[in-house]
Structure 1
C-alpha cells in the first residue's frame, strides 16, 4: 500500500470498507505519488523495524490523519514536510486505496499525485533510510508492496509523456564517478554490492558514487575514503573513460565517469558493509559474474584505448 501508517502488515483489498450505507468512508490516511519529468517515481525506503508497516520496503511518502489536519490534503502536505522537508505547490487527488492490516482492520488511503524534479539527496530525511528515483520498469526488482507497484504502473500507463524531440526542454543527466584501480599485477578492484542495494544487488561493480555539490574528482576522492578507506590525492587522478547510458526508454540519462588513480594509500577495507560485502582484485580478462554491464563496458573500453561508450540509447 501507499500509506506510511505504522502497524502490522497490510494486504490489498478491493472490496469497500465498512462505514456509510454506501459502504464507503472518509479515508484516514494520505500518501503522495511523486513523479518527475523523466517518468521516474520517488520512493521512500522504510526503516527495518518490526513495529511498523512493511519494514525495509520501498513505499510512498505519507501517513495517518491527525486531529489538527483540516483535510487529507493538509495531512499529505504535513507528512511531506515532516518526513522529507518537501513543500510541493500542487497536489492532485489521484484515487482512494483500501488495505487490510494483519489484524483485519481496514486502512483507507487517499492518494495524491505531484510533480517534482529535485535531487532526493538534497532533502532532509527524518524518517526511513533514503529517498530515490525509480522508473516503473525496475520496480519489480525492489522489495515493495504489490499494491504500490500496481498503483505506479497504472499511473505510468495513463500518463501521457510526449516523445522527446529536438529543441524540447533539456533533461538533466545524473553524474556518477567510478574508480578504476589497478594493483601491481594489473588486477582491477571491484566490490560485491549488498543484496539489499537499491541498484545492482549481489553484483560486482566499481567503487562508485554520485556527484553532490562538488567536482567529479573531489567526489571520487571522498567516495574512495568513505567506502574503502583509500587516500587518494586529486593530482594522482586521471580520466580514462565515460559511459553515457539510459537504463530504460524515457529514463533519466546518466553520465558515468571513470577515473584511474596512479597512486593511493591504504588497503581496501569495508567501511560501508550495508552497501558492499567484499573488495577483491580481478584480472581484466577474468572478471566476475554478475558484473554491472556498464562497468564491464568501461573496462573493455579502457583496455581498447577508447574514451567513450554509449549504452541504451538505441532503445529510446
Structure 2
C-alpha cells in the first residue's frame, strides 16, 4: 500500500522544521495534501510525488545515471511511486535497485539524515504527447544512502530506461539544491551505527531478551526475541543517549549499571537496508515480573544454552555466547540452588505451569508430545513448562508463545487447579499449577517440533486414551469446580491435635505456661 497523505505530510512538516525557509516553495505540495487525491499516483495533476536515491560511496561521490526519458540528462536514480511501496524511502530504494541494480542490503542510512529526505525538489515536467501526459510537476523526495561495503557494487543498468552511470564528486552534483545540501551536511560516505541496543546480563550467566510484537512489515524483527534498543533520532546527542531513551520508553523501571560499548552488530531493516547497530553491555539483576513493559510482549532472562530454542537473530545469538565466554558467571552473584537439609523435613518441590484453554464449544486444547520426548512421549498433555528463575505467570506466558505461538496477557489468567504429584517414592514432588486463560491471541501452531507434533481441541467427555494422568485429573476437577487434587501420595492419615501431659499436683498456672498462656 502506497504512503498515505498523513505520512507524506508528516515527512514534509519534519523537513520544513529543518528548512523553514522552503515553506513557500512547497506551498503547492502542502495545498495538494489538503485535497482528496492520491499524490503518489502518476496520473494525479497538476503534480504528484516522486522519490530519488542519493547513493554516496566511500570517496564521497554520488551515483548519477543517464535517463533516456529525460533526453539523456544525468540525474540521481529515482522515479514514480508504485502501489507496493510501503514508504517514500522504500520507493527510493526500489528505484535504485531497478535502475542501477544496487540491492537495499548494499546500502545503509546516514547519521546526519537518519532516513529523512535531504531535499524536496519541485520541478516542472514537459508535456509528453506520445504518452498522453500534459505538462505537470514533480515533488521529488530525495533520500541519502551510504554504501555499506568498502567497494562500490557492480552497477547493472536497466537498459529500457538508463543508458549510463557515473560517480560524481559532490561539487559536481547536477542539482544545485541537492549539491548545496550535500556539502553543508558533511557527508563523507563512511557508515557508522545509527541504532543502539543493550546486551543486558545479571553477572550470573543470564541475559535479558525482549519478545517483540508480531506485526510483520511494521515492527523490525517482528515476533522474535531481540535485545532492547532502537533507532537514533535527530534529538539524540549520542548513541548511548539513544539507548537510554529507548530503554526509558520500553521498560521505564529498568536502570542499567556499568553501561559501555561492546560491539557493532550487523542487522537488516524492514526495508532490507543494512543497519550497523552499536551494542552496549549493561548489568541489571532485577525481577522481570516487576518491570512495566510499554512495548512488545515480554522480557525474560535466558542462559546461553537456551538460545537455540528461541526465534532469535543468529548474530545476536553469537554475540551473547561470545560475551558469556568472555565473562564467566560471577559466582558471588549467582542464586544459590536449593539443597537438602539433613536436619529438616523440608524438601525441594518442583513447580510446573499448565495452560487450560477452552474454545467456544467448551473443548480443551491438548498437544501430542513427540515420541522421543523425555516425559510422556506419544501422549497428549496440556501446554506446559517447568518454572525456572521466574514467576509462574511469566513462565506460562513464555511457554504459550514458544510452544504454540499464543499471546496471553497475564491480566486474563486465573489459577484454575493445583495438582500435587509425586511420580515414585523418593522422587521430586511437583506442584503442578493449572491456569485458565479467558482470552488469547493467535491460533495454536506447532513451534517446537522436537517436543510437540500436533495441537487439537478435545471435548471434555471425549478425552484421548493416551493422556497424562494428572492432566486428566485436572480437567475433571476443573469441570467439577474443585481447586486441589493430589496423585502418588500415600493417603493422608487423620491425626489428633497434640496434647500436653501434666503431672499429678501440677497447678493451673504451670499448665497455662506449658501452653504458652499468661500466668501472671
Pairwise TM-score range, normalised by the shorter structure: 0.5 to 0.7
Deviations 1:137-160 (A, max 9, x none): 121121111111111111112112
TM-score (norm 1): 0.56
Superposed CA RMSD in Å reads: 5.1
Higher relative contact order (CA 8 A, sep 6+): 1
Q: Which runs of 5+ in 2 are unaligned?
A: 1-86, 91-103, 108-146, 152-185, 339-349, 357-363, 369-374, 394-408, 445-454, 472-485, 492-520
Question: Cα deviation per residue 1:114-134 (whole Å; 9 max; x = unaligned)?
Answer: 111112121111111111111
**1:272 shift after superposition:** 3.9
Q: CA deviation at 1:304?
A: 6.5
- Is the counterpart of residue 111 in structure 1 residue 279 in structure 2? yes
- State which of 311, 325, 332 in structure 2 corresponds to 1:157: 325
Equivalent residue number for residue 78 of structure 1: 245
Unaligned ranges ≥5, structure 1: 1-5, 182-188, 194-199, 213-222, 243-254, 262-267, 292-300, 307-316
Change (3 A) 1:303 1:30: same
* Contact residue 46 and residue 128 of structure 1 kept, 8 A: yes
Task: Tell me the CA shift for residue 258 of structure 1.
Answer: 0.7
Provide the rounded CA distance (Å) in 1 between the counterparts of 2:249 and 2:384. Answer: 35
Deviations for 1:67-99, whole angstroms, at most 9, x for unmatched residues? 221111111111111101122132111011233
Question: Greater share of helix residues, 1 or 2?
Answer: 2
Question: Could you tell me which of 428, 431, 439 is aligned with 1:258?
Answer: 431
* 1:108 CA drift (Å): 1.5
| 2-structure distance, mates of 1:158, 1:22 | 35
CA separation of 1:139/1:57 partners in 2, compared to 1, >3 Å: closer, same or farther? same
In structure 2, relative to structure 1, the CA distance for the partners of 1:61 and 1:89 (3 Å cut) is same
Change beyond 3 A, Cα 1:129–1:104: closer
Residues in 1 aligned to 2:276 and 2:431: alpha-carbon distance in whole angstroms = 48
Check the 8 A contact 1:178/1:256 in 2, yes or no: no
Q: Is the 8 A contact 2:422 2:488 kept in 1?
A: no
Q: How many residues align?
A: 237
Match of 1:147 in 2: 315
Cα distance per residue 1:208-250 (max 9 Å; x no partner) = 87357xxxxxxxxxx99955784x6xxxx685559xxxxxxxx
**Is 1:57 matched with 2:224?**
yes
Partner of 2:488: 303
Q: Does 1:126 align with 2:294?
A: yes
Report which of the two structures shows the higher radius of gyration computed on alpha carbons: 2
Q: TM-score, normalised by structure 2?
A: 0.36
**Cα distance, 1:94–1:25 mapped onto 2, change above 3 Å:** same
- Residues 178-224 of structure 1 show CA distances to partners (whole Å, capped at 9, x for unaligned) of 5799xxxxxxx99549xxxxxx9x97455987357xxxxxxxxxx99
